[in-house]
Amino acid sequence: MNSFLKPKKAVIQIGIIFCVVFSSCDNSIKNGKQYFYRAINNKDTALLRFTKLENNSFFGQYEIRYEGVRKDSGEVRGIIVGDTIKGSFYYSPYGGGVLKRYPIALLKRKNKLLLGKGVISVYMGIPSFLKGDTIDYSKPEFVFEEIKK
């Protein structure tokens, strides 16, 4: 009978842990501020939606539509330091296939976000912008404007 009760106790403890974790995540989402942005470059459109949390981290969705025919869509997450937003874009290329990861850097200028470019290095399978190398925002592929929802 003892061995029968132990698994139940473990299941209850795991259930309590999940409730605590999910309720604390839900509270941080409620306390965060949401932003919606759109950028158009010729026939390509990028949509960015993210939530900034109190600890200056962020998470959200990012989608790039190429000429309205194909798209890269997925999640973004990272950190906001001053006027710079840096993180990773986890996406499905062309709307499907194997998930890929790509570094992302945005610079806030005059209520717009400029998508930066830089040298990417891969360490242990994780791509990131090369340390010490500056990210170039002078000719952004996308200039995001905020959308009021």
Q: Are residues 127 and 75 in the same domain?
A: yes
Q: Are residues 141 and 74 in the same domain?
A: yes
What integer is the mean pLDDT of 106-119? 94
pLDDT in tens, 41-58: 999 999 999 999 999 999
25 and 43 in a common domain: no
* 87 and 73 co-located in one domain: yes
Domain hosting residue 6, numbered range: 1-31
Same domain as 139, residue 94? yes
Give the helix/strand (H/E) hosting 71.
strand 70-81
Task: Verify that 64 and 136 share a domain, yes or no.
Answer: yes
Looking at the structure, do residues 78 and 137 belong to the same domain, yes or no?
yes
Looking up tokens 């509270």 gives 27
Instruction: Kindly state whether residues 10 and 56 are assigned to the same domain.
Output: no
Q: What pLDDT is stored for residue 68 in this prediction?
A: 76
Number of folded domains that form the chain: 2
Domain match, 84 and 108 both: yes
Same domain, 43 and 107: yes
Q: Which of 53, 54, 22, 49 is nearest to 37 (CA)?
A: 49
pTM (predicted TM-score):
0.75
Higher pLDDT, 47 or 23: 47
Q: Is the distance from CB of 64 to CB of 76 less than 8 angstroms?
A: no
pLDDT digits (tens, 9 = 90+) for 83-95: 999 999 999 887 6
First to last CA, the chain: 57
Report the distance separating Cα 97 and Cα 2, nearest Å: 48
| Structural tokens at position 44 | 């390509």
Return the closest-CA partner of residue 89 out of 142, 139, 28: 142
Q: Using alpha carbons, list the distances in angstroms from residue 106 to 4, 21, 31, 114, 135.
A: 54, 30, 23, 5, 9
**105 and 59 within one domain:** yes
Quick one: 103 exposed, middle or buried, by C-beta within 10 A (0-12, 13-18, 19+)?
Answer: buried
Q: What angle do CA 120, 125, 128 make, to 5 degrees?
A: 25
Domain co-membership, 3 together with 43: no
